[in-house]
Each structure stands twice: as structure tokens, then as C-alpha cells.
Amino acid sequence: MRSPFPWSIINLVSDWPPEPSLSVNLPNSITLIRIASIPLLIWILSSPRFSSVNGEKELLASALFIAAAMTDGIDGYLARRRGQITTMGILLDPLADKLLIAAAFVVLVQLNPALVPAWVAIVVIGREFLVSGLRSIAASEGFTIEASELGKLKMVVQIVAVVAVILDHRWKVWPVYGYYVFPVHWIAYLSIWFMVGVSLVSAIDYFVAFWSKIDRRVVKRQRRAFILSRRRKPLPAPPPQADRDVAAST
């Protein structure tokens, strides 16, 4: 008997086995490198292996942090350009950013507590927790929260603040030429306070912009479920035992 679908069978056979999809592509590898740089940064800033006499510790840690922060834009650009946006990348990319910033500020509390007191690290890390919670609630309701302009500005200010605070541990001013100096301490001080302000404003912006919409969606869904439950018709009651005996005898 001739098959009515010869070409479909041939296509199915020729496409078997399917090509495996590689999760760990180039953008994801760069993200994993950023995550791997976090313990290295902590070790450089916390270990007595590197000295601060000539600024070896501060220069090495600053260079590592800047390189790790730059990979945030590189992996996203490559993922979009190469069409390699994967579930693994969507999960790891924001996680790597939050781990890098949180680890940097926790270490800076110990390294330079005069500029980074504990409450600053709590504000920065708490803001990341808040935005992550809003993103997970939005994802469960079918929304996508994209990074706002304030969020991008916050990331840039955080990079400047972390590098300035690390360099301030060794140099309060950086000689440039002749009598001209680079005021490292004042840049670190102002960037920390500016970063705290931007973090709070961007957290409020995320909360106000998306919470009302998400909350209305949840309330609407619950109301719809309640209305549907009221429209259910009650099941008919079973006949009495006497009626069932009469029906059986007839």
C-alpha cells in the first residue's frame, strides 16, 4: 500500500537525530567568566598576598572589576547579534550583575568603611532584591520588566563608585601633571552618595511603574475565578430512597 505522505516521512527520517542545542555558547561563556571573576576580586581585596604600599592591590582589583563590568554589555550584544539568546543566559546575566555588585560592596565595607558604611551596602543589595522580586512576580503574570534608563545610569554610577573607593584606599589624590591632581577621594565620596540616591529613585520607579499593573492583573484573575465559581450550577440532589425503590421495581 502506497503511503499518502511519502515526503513527510522522508523529511522526518532525514532530520533525525535532531541537532543538539548548545546552552553554553560564547555569550554564556562570557557571563560565566564574569561570575568566576567574583571570588578572584574578593581574594585580591581581602588577601594579604597583595600589598597596598605601591597600590598593587588597588590597581589590580580596579582593572579586574572594570573588565568584569564591561563583559555585561559584551555578552548581551553578542547574544542579540548572533541570535543566541538562551534560557541559561536570561537566568545567569542578571544574576552575575547582582553577584558582582553585591560582592564588591560587601568587601568595600571591610576595605574602606569610612566611605562605604554597612548601611550603604544594605541599600544597594536591598534594591537588587526588590527589583528581582518584582521581575519574578511580573514573569509569573506574563510581563517583562526591561531595564529603565535610571537602572542603566545606576549601573554606570556603581562602577565609578566601586573603582573610586578602591583607589581611595591607597590614593586620596592622584598626581596628574605638575600641580594638577585628580581628586580621587571627593569623586569616591560624591559617587557613593549619588549612587545611593539613584538606587533609591530607580527602585521607587520600578515599584510605581509595575506594581499597580501587576496588582490589577492579580486582582482581576482572582475576581474572574470567583465569578466563575459562582456561576457553577449545583448538582441535582439524588432522589429519596423510596423513589429509587419504586423506579427499580418498575
Cβ atoms of 213 and 144 closer than 8 Å:
no
Residue range 127-132: mean pLDDT, rounded = 84
pTM beyond 0.75: the answer is no
Would you state the pLDDT for residue 7? 36
Cβ atoms of 166 and 52 closer than 8 Å:
no
How far is the C-alpha of 51 from the C-alpha of 63, rounded, in Å? Answer: 16
Of 14-23, 71-80, 154-163, 216-225, where does mean pLDDT reach its minimum?
14-23
Would you state the pLDDT for residue 15? 41
Residue with more model confidence, 84 or 122: 122
pLDDT in tens, 179-218: 778 888 999 999 999 999 998 998 888 888 777 676 666 6
Of 116-130, 139-153, 164-178, where does mean pLDDT reach its minimum?
139-153
The neighbouring-strand residues paired with 181 are 175
Residue 92 clears pLDDT 50, i.e. is over it: yes
Would you state the pLDDT for residue 12? 38
How far is the C-alpha of 83 from the C-alpha of 152, rounded, in Å? Answer: 23
Confidence of residue 222 (pLDDT cuts 50, 70, 90): low
Task: Report the amino acid identity of residue 221.
Answer: R
CATH number of 22-227: 1.20.120.1760
Confidence of residue 14 (pLDDT cuts 50, 70, 90): very low
The per-residue DSSP string of 117-152 comes to -HHHHHHHHHHHHHHHHHHHHHHHTT---PPPHHHH
How far is the C-alpha of 207 from the C-alpha of 209, rounded, in Å? Answer: 6
How far is the C-alpha of 133 from the C-alpha of 136, rounded, in Å? Answer: 5
Confidence of residue 16 (pLDDT cuts 50, 70, 90): very low
Residue range 93-99: mean pLDDT, rounded = 87
pLDDT in tens, 31-60: 999 999 999 999 999 888 888 888 889 999
Residue 142 clears pLDDT 90, i.e. is over it: no
**Grid coordinates standing for 8?**
513527510
Give domain limits for the chain.
22-227
Cβ atoms of 80 and 74 closer than 8 Å:
no
